[in-house]
Amino acid sequence: MDFELSDEQKMIKETAKRFSDEVIAPVARENDILERFPSDILKKLAAVGFLGGPVPPAYGGAGLDFISDAIIFEEIGRGCSSVRTILSVQVSLVELIILKWGTEAQKKKYLPKLCKGELLGSFALTEPGAGSDPAGLKSTACKKGSGWVLNGSKTWISTGGVADVCIVFALTDPSKGSKGISAFIIEKGMAGFTTKEIKGKLGLRAADTAELFFKDCPMPGDALLGNENEGLKIALSALDNGRYGVAAGCVGIMQGCIDACVKYSKERMQFGKPIASFQLVQDMIARMAVDCDAARLLVYRAGHLKNKGVRNTLETSMAKYFASEAAVRAATDAIQVHGGYGYSNEYPVERYLRDAKVATIYEGTSQIQKLIIGENLLGVRAFV
């Protein structure tokens, strides 16, 4: 196995690092405080091709490999997890799903505009009573003439309040349970479709999160994504992509913690010498560095399998589980290294902790990831 990045990947890393340092990081604190959606940053991400990710150039994308994709997520996540979340949803949960499951007409209609940032996308699976259990979906889509009528609600939908297009999952055959779910592409402004922003979040405060409501919402027949009753399969393939972006973003949080702690510990003087010389400070920073490298390698392994087109659910779940939990540990220790200053937003480490915590919850909780790993190892499902 070759651990060396290619020249192209090194160039992408340098570009993404510079973008994060010069464009994202300087306004991350203010955007977090004001809960301000970073529309201006998204336009600049589109300009450098990062909104296109692995989408082929024929559909307006950059045609990047998945290691390059992870590098971008990491560097953007190091600057601001809110921006990384928006990027992950756009690329991993919307573009790649339309690319895999969409008709040629759907691909041509949506992908070029999504890659250029002319459209923002969201992914609506979670409901008030259906989080880890997609079989608990209550939203329904009933056939009417040549189209469909959608009723129900969704919650905790990233970018849901500002998205132009949304991939929505609903029951089309309730008698089949989870095997009766279908996926649809709907557009902002459709009759009966409304949203409500969710405020007061612990972290990801600059990333829009919303509730979605559908009341007798008419959808054309060509809104169906994939085949009827194929929605669960589509959702699971999307989550493999989404978890990969979350894991890579968590590596970025860890790297940000390391960078902040190295700088601060060399400058902070106590007992007549920099705290970098204290053994227990070095212990915390060393653990961050080991966890960061381990998480990055787990992400790259999953990316390598994605590049080969090989099933990677197990490897992606491992990467997401380890990276998200390790990011929380790293941010907690980073605050400790900074002492009282770490408890204020004068330094980025308190934001890293708040942003890291949700990574252990969304896109499948850490507990769900362990059950996926266990099922793959034991061949026994812990849940139906």
Catalytic sites, residue numbers: 363
CB 190, CB 212: distance < 8 Å: no
CA distance 180 to 84: 32
Q: Which two tokens stand for residue 313?
A: 């659910």
Q: Which two tokens stand for residue 45?
A: 């991400």
Tell me how far CA of residue 44 lies from CA of 38, 55, 132, in angstroms: 10, 18, 34
CA distance 70 to 296: 9
Q: Which candidate, 57, 85, 71, places its Cα nearest to that of 303?
A: 71
Q: Is residue 69 within a helix (H) or strand (E), and if so which, with residue range? A: helix 66-79
Left, alpha or beta for 90 (phi > 0: left; psi -120 to 50: alpha)?
alpha
CA distance 55 to 34: 33
CA within 13 Å, CB half, 225? 31
Question: Residue 80: which residues within 8 A CB-CB, separation 6 or more?
Answer: 20, 24, 25, 28, 31, 32, 38, 206
CA distance 194 to 293: 43
3-state secondary structure at position 37: coil
Amino acid at 259: D
DSSP per-residue codes, 287-310: HHHHHHHHHHHHHHHHHHHHHHT-
Question: Residue 271: which residues within 8 A CB-CB, separation 6 or more?
Answer: none
Q: Other C-beta atoms within 10 Å of 176: how many?
A: 12
Tell me how far CA of residue 377 lies from CA of 8, 291, 303, 369, 374, in angstroms: 36, 23, 20, 12, 5
Amino acid at 187: E
Q: Other C-beta atoms within 10 Å of 196: how many?
A: 13
